[in-house]
Amino acid sequence: MSNPWSRWLAANDTHRYQLSRKAGWDAFVNGSPRPDFAVLTLEEMAGLSDAELEDYNAARDVWNTNPPTVRTHQLDAAYRIIEEVMASNHRDSDKLRGSVVIDAEPSLGKTTIATRYAQRFHRTTYRRYGPTTADGHQRLPVAFIPLTAGITLKGLNQKLLEFYQHPAARRGSRTELTSLAIDCVTSCETRLIVIDDLHFIDFAHRNGTEVSNHLKGLANELPVTFIYVGVGLREKQFFDEGMLGEATSYAQTSRRATRCPVVPFRIDNDAGMRAWVMLLTTLERHYKLAAARPGMLTDHARLLHTRTQGRIGSLANILDRACYRAILDGVECINADLLSAVSVDNAALQASIA
Ligand SMILES: Nc1ncnc2c1ncn2[C@@H]1O[C@H](COP(=O)(O)OP(=O)(O)OP(=O)(O)O)[C@@H](O)[C@H]1O
Ligand SMILES: [Mg+2]
């Protein structure tokens, strides 16, 4: 039998769209936030049937694990750099545009920054120019291309074509795929291409050099700004294009790309602690727990920082689990015992016991 929460779940369960396909990207860009629902008191929960309680808890799991994107200072700082580089996006097509490289350690919110920025850019472009290009093609202001291990030049072109859901994505020679990819980007008037997980390219290897040269080629040819996202790209010689010593001065990437670092939260100074507490305050308000209270997270700011080293991805993991346990155990609030007891991801665990 249906109840308010099973109906809510039917319409708002976990989104399973694939950002790497135009349909999935479109669903992400245009999706509206989940509608809110009331938190029940413990007495109200006691009055539910087993099935109702199960559905209410399942709805809360979906809600709790999808907090809003918080405007952290890392996000703001990254947006400022991206906006500056995007200003050159207005250059006429005969002039080269710069690119942004979001280069940082794992779990710091790199992908979130790139996708949220691109989402906003997509919406603005649509509002201004409409959904169709002057030539009657579907307008796709953004392409989002996540890479996989050992990506080759052909693989990169295939991924681009897959985003546009081009039927030839799986066929065609290397050169054909390149020209098809260029056609797609041009006819859909794509202006921003986000390439995620760029660290999968080994810039010191022939395949990697080919891919990186190809990206440079595309940047030359297309009126597009690229946002590259990856872990440890400087160390992986992305900027030096895998060259060593003096040869690095020939690396054009280094001149064309603007590096955008993303740092973990630090609490060893007042401003850092304030920013961390602000993040926790925002998140704290989100969770649907019967005994939730203001201060439920901020009272444990230091403990949370030790357990996560100020990494927003590790924080998201630990809070997901704490909420789940708070519901399962019936505590209905996040407290220090829960935060100490739930598991964290492996990297956060290693760092917190080091
Ligand atoms: N600004 C934010 N507000 C709220 N939650 C965030 C924010 N940024 C990141 N997160 C949370 O942290 C998680 C990890 O973020 P994200 O995937 O963007 O990190 P990443 O640096 O790309 O990680 P990886 O190195 O694994 O690719 C997200 O799934 C989300 O839950
Ligand atoms: Mg990522």
Cα gap 176→327, rounded to integer Å: 55
Number of domains in the chain: 2
Nearest-angstrom CA–CA distance, 95 and 97: 7
C-alpha of residue 197 to centroid of ligand 2, in Å? 6
- Asked, for residue 9, whether it belongs to a domain, the answer is no
pLDDT at 352 over 80: no
Q: Give me the chain's average pLDDT, please.
A: 90
Q: Are strands 99-103 and 225-230 parallel, antiparallel or unpaired?
A: parallel
Domain-ending residue, one of 217, 237, 261: 261
State the Rg of the chain over Cα: 23
Helix or strand holding residue 254 (H, E) = helix 252-256
User: What's the confidence (pLDDT) of residue 195?
Assistant: 96
**pLDDT at residue 238 is higher than 80:** no
The dihedral of CA 70, 76, 81, 86: what is its sign? positive
As for ligand 1, residues whose beta carbon falls within 6 Å of it are 67, 69-70, 72, 75, 106-112, 231, 312-313, 316
pLDDT at 78 over 90: yes
Report which of residues 285 and 254 the model is more confident about.
285
Sign, CA dihedral 47-48-50-54, equals negative
Does residue 11 belong to any structural domain of this protein? Answer: no
Q: Are residues 223 and 299 in the same domain?
A: no
From the CA of 313, give the closest atom in ligand 1: 12
Contact 138, 131 (CB under 8 A): yes
Domain range for residue 93? 73-261
- Best residue among 15, 107, 297 to mutate for probing ligand 1's pocket (most ligand atoms within 8 Å of CB) is 107
Atom number, ligand 1, closest to the C-alpha of residue 104: 21
Ligand whose nearest atom lies closest to the CA of 314? 1
Share of the chain above pLDDT 70, in %: 91
- For ligand 1, atom 6, the nearest C-alpha belongs to 69
The token duo for 108 is 């710091």
215: helix, strand or coil: helix
Same structural domain for residues 186 and 329? Answer: no
Q: Which of 261, 279, 298 is the last residue of a domain?
A: 261
**Cα torsion 303, 309, 310, 315: sign:** negative
**Is residue 218 located within the same domain as residue 331?**
no
- Are 186 and 86 in the same domain? yes
pLDDT score, position 220: 83
Residue owning the nearest CA to atom 19 of ligand 1: 109
Read off the pTM: 0.92
- Biggest CA–CA distance in the chain, Å, is 74
Specify the pLDDT at position 343: 78
Confidence of residue 241 (pLDDT cuts 50, 70, 90): low
Say if CB 70 and CB 282 are below 8 A apart: yes
202 CA from centroid of ligand 1 (Å): 24
Q: Which residue has the higher pLDDT, 242 or 48?
A: 48
CA of 273 relative to ligand 1 center, distance in Å? 20
Buried b (16+ CB within 10 A) or exposed e, 138-168: ebbbbbbbbbeeebbbbbbbbbbbbbbebee
pLDDT tens for residues 190-203?
999 999 999 988 87
Q: Whose CA is nearest to atom 18 of ligand 1?
A: 109
131/192 same-domain check: yes
Q: Give the lowest-confidence range in 139-148, 151-160, 289-298.
A: 151-160
Contact call for residues 121 and 192 (beta carbons, < 8 A): yes
AA identity, residue 128: R
